[in-house]
Amino acid sequence: MSKNLYGTPTDSTDAQERALVDASCRIPVLLFIASSVFWLLVGTVFGLIASIKLHNPHFLIELPRWFALYLDKFSPDGTVDFINAMLTFGRVRPAHLNIVAYGWASASALGVAIWLMARLCRAPLRFPALVTAAMVLWNIAIAIGTIAILGGKSTSIEWLEFPSYVSIMLFVSYALISIWGVNMFVHRKPGHVYVSQWYIMAALFWFPWLYGTANLLLIFAPIQGSSQAIVNWWYGHNALGLWFTPIGLAAAYYFIPKVIGRPVHSYYLSAFGFWALALFYSWNGGHHLIGGPLPAWLITSSIVASLMMFVPVLVTAINHHMTMKGNFHMLHYSPTLRFVVFGAMSYTLASLQGSSMAFRSWNSLTHFTHYTIGHSHLGLYAFFTMIMFGSIYYIVPRLTRREWPSITLIKIHFWGSAYGIILMVLVLSVGGVVQGWMMNNPQIPQNTFENILKITNPYLFARSLSGALLMVAHIAFALNLTLILLGWGKKTGGPTLFNQLEASEEAKPKESTL
Amino acid sequence: MNSLRTLFIGFTITFTLAWLGLVIIPYFQLGQLAPQVDEDAGMSYPLIRSGLAERGKQVYQANGCIYCHSQQVRPMDADPIKGRGWGPRRTVARDYIYDKPHLLGTMRTGPDLTNIGKRQPSADWHHAHLYAPQSMAEYSVMPPYRYLYTVQKIKSTPNPKAVKLAKGYQPEEGYEVIPTPDAIALVAYLQSMDRTYALPEAPLPKE
């Protein structure tokens, strides 16, 4: 007999209930997941192009000459230049960021959050058509926004490059899902509220407030100069801290106990971690502007809040570690567990690194360098994206009632992603520190701008290699997902496992509580 | 902690604190700064950009210059003034009162541009550099912005606007490179970037 998240034994009525809940959210959740993986592929291509351009500035700056001449024959004047402009680094890079942040990360987060909420509220999804409509609107907005950025209509405000009409569409779509989330919560089956539900409810509530305020004060009715900068980074940091992080943690808090089949180590630690995160994370944005044209009190309060983040991060890390203790061998079998635990460990690392980057001395060295880019990938990829991968590996078989068609593809996905992101963070961190040290010590004659570019070049080349690894991983993932959605894969009786179980029944992952 | 109301009160309080601290209070503290007027010299700082330069700022935004170039000089210990030469003083809030959106930037793959207009006042330099960055610095990783220029056949006399390029970067014999209106505006913007004036809160250091 299996146990639920609170350690209470479950029976076959529960299994039927879960099947009903899964059936109700099947279409919107699968659509969110499928569309997010599509954008993941597109975003990876843009990321790779941008990365190559940084060490090879002549890469893809223009259409090939023969093609340009051919195109010129039947297209209006200026078409070739318009397309060439779309390929420039300064457009490809924001396209990459916005596609992966909104097209991939946010959409997969919404898909996973809807499924988790339905499961945890133990109530079938109400009005699934509404959620599907929101999903369609979301994806149309991402497509229009991407074309707008490439076409030169970017707002040039980092993390908010989509033009105003796109942000309205995203806001409406998100608000629909937020309202739906509250509705779901109100109609939940009576009983305990799990920590994942707090995280999801909070994120669904905070993000529209964040996104609305930032768009209002930066795009619709822009405020003056440097007060924009602080709103910009209040938003930019909280998009990670109060949107992606809560969803990532909600998934980790759900899947780790679920897969290993024992309750989360401490309820009190999880509650404490949640409220500490809510209180401190929201203040962190100012540490992106240390040394910038802003009042000292503001920067200092952000630095203090960044250091206070040690509290919720360590609490969460301890809680997850104690839950996993004695069950680490299950990483050998369960794809979900392997991705989610990788993500949860990266969360601790990324957060501790982020706090350390708020120290003034370390910040003055690493700010304006590739080190920061390494850090953001550690947060958004190694932590958040890996947890989303793990969640998708769990959710999709339950919605399609099929097993993943290929274990090999899952293995390629995991090792490609894991090695890719580790390599990326390493080379960007080392390269960034070298870059920052040389930049800040111009009194040493060797530290010319020329030498900075020459010395960072190999690091950036290695970053492109890591990007290629991620690309391979994502193709494997997308292929597996396409196959399962097309109806390949065995009709399921149990979970897809990496390795045949030789161990006793005790050690078997409890994913099969369908 | 299980009721919707309790949860939402908690969500609201935690979020509102930071919202007030990082959005609302800074707005009241910094959102209405006035330019600094020097009545003797008949000047007002920061300098107001020309219409053409303002148009150039839009070209700067459209092409994502911000992803490699910052526009802020930090206090001395972080951005040493001697050597890198990004500016004689740190920049302060008043320097940015005309910037909508702000373009402070977060990356220095390329040099800081706070005072590029002072460092490189020549329009010819900027045009040649935008068209072929490697003609100015062979090691540069800046992409060429050729799409902001038109290559055309030289008519009876060479066009005076034609970009003066170094050997090896010139177009074929009989052709010339003419800046588009976008390129002209962008260069006007780059030339306008000069924050080397003194402000009461950020005086120039004594020599």
Residue A4 has pLDDT above 70, yes or no: no
Contacts of B189 in chain A (CB under 8 A): none
pLDDT greater than 80 at residue B82: no
Whether B166 and A80 have beta carbons less than 8 Å apart is answered as no
DSSP B179-194: E-HHHHHHHHHHHH--
B183 in a domain, yes or no? Answer: yes
| Residue A86 burial (CB count, 10 A) | 17
Nearest CB neighbour to B97, from listed A224, A242, A440: A224
Residues A166-177 have pLDDT tens digits of: 999 999 999 999
What is the distance between the alpha carbons of residues A144 and A146, in angstroms, rounded to a whole number?
Answer: 5
Tens-digit pLDDT profile for residues A240-294:
999 999 999 999 999 999 999 889 999 899 999 999 999 999 999 999 999 999 9
The rounded percent of chain B whose pLDDT value lies above 90 is 77
User: Considering the domain boundaries, does residue B198 fall inside one?
Assistant: no
Q: Is residue B104 part of a domain?
A: yes
Structure confidence by residue, pLDDT tens digits, A204-248: 999 999 999 999 999 999 999 889 999 999 999 999 999 999 999
| pLDDT 10s digits, A86-123 | 999 999 999 999 999 999 999 999 999 999 999 999 98
Q: Least CA distance to B99: which residue of chain A?
A: A225
Find, in chain A, the residue whose alpha carbon is nearest to that of B8: A202
Contacts of A301 in chain B (CB under 8 A): 21
Domain-located, residue B17: no
Q: What pLDDT is stored for residue A37 in this prediction? A: 98
Residue B157, C-beta contacts closer than 8 angstroms, at least 6 positions apart? none
A433-451 pLDDT tens trace: 999 999 999 888 899 999 9
Looking at residue A192, its pLDDT comes to: 84
What is the predicted pLDDT for the residue at A28? 95
At A33-42, the pLDDT tens digits run 999 999 999 9
Tokens, residue A167: 């942000």
> Letter for the amino acid at A274?
F
Q: Is residue B95 part of a domain?
A: yes
pLDDT at A76: 87
Residue B64 within a domain: yes
Q: For residue B96, is it within any domain?
A: yes
Q: Which candidate from A227, A283, A285 shows the least CB-CB separation from B27?
A: A227
Least confident of A76-80, A421-425, B75-79: B75-79
Number of domain units in chain B: 1
Whether residue A51 contacts residue A427, with contact meaning beta carbons closer than 8 Å, is answered with no
Contact A114, A134 (CB under 8 A): no
Chain A residues in contact with B139 by the CB 8 A cut-off are 450, 453-454
Q: Kindly report, residue by residue over B93-116, the tens digit of the pLDDT.
A: 999 999 999 999 999 999 999 999
What's the CATH code of the domain at B147?
Answer: 1.10.760.10
Q: Could you tell me if A287 lies within 8 Å of chain B, comparing CB atoms?
A: no
Model ipTM value: 0.94
- pLDDT given at position B207: 64
Does position A495 have pLDDT exceeding 70, yes or no?
Answer: no
Residue B111 maps to a domain: yes
Bridge partners of A192, per DSSP, are: none
Residue-range definition of the domain harbouring residue B120: 49-192
